A = this chain, B = another copy of it.
Amino acid sequence: MTAILWDHFLERQTADSVRGMTMKALGIHLLIELWSCNRQKIDNLDYLERIMAHAAEIAGATVLKSAFQDFNPQGVSGVVVIAESHLTIHTWPEHGYAAVDIFTCGTTVDPWKAAGFLKQELEAEEIQIRDFLRGFPHATGETEEDYGLVGRAACGNTNG
């Protein structure tokens, strides 16, 4: 179902399909491991906040809010709330490792683009992406349309 969103350079594990699980999807959730990153970049709060917002925009999402925090002696945690759900990042500079997750609802946002952008920006030598549908189990459809991949009634339509 997500083949149309797939960038060939990313290693993808279709975890949901491997488990034989079907899901009436309201959204797609990517768990992304980024290994051998640039250790200086992943310890820089301001830089990470900027590129996470940029990643959201590249995916076609609308950034609403963000909250970032750095740690002592190193490491950064950050979340970006988008109209279509969220992006998060947690970094372990001492291991060159960044844990990212991207959850998007609706059909207009492409989370794989954000993943590819972050791999490039953080200079990750290796990436692993596990993708999951979020929503309701037991859907019988096999096409994107059958899965009903739509957002909340007002996915992307914020109050205030």
Contact = CB atoms under 8 A, between A and B. Distances in A.
A70 B157 CA distance: 9
A26 interface: yes
A153 to B, nearest CB: 5
A50 interface: no
B130 A132 contact: yes
Interface stretch (A1-9, A114-122, A134-142): A134-142
Given A79-B79, A99-B26, A99-B103, A72 B154 contact: yes
A26 B71 contact: no
24 contacts: A13-B19, A19-B19, A26-B97, A27-B90, A27-B99, A29-B31, A29-B99, A31-B134, A33-B134, A33-B135, A67-B81, A68-B81, A69-B81, A69-B158, A71-B157, A71-B158, A72-B157, A72-B158, A72-B159, A73-B153, A75-B154, A78-B81, A79-B88, A128-B137
Interface of A: 13, 15, 18-19, 26-27, 29, 31, 33, 35, 64-75, 77-79, 81, 83, 85-86, 88, 90-92, 94-95, 97, 99, 101, 103, 105, 128, 130, 132, 134-137, 152-155, 157-160
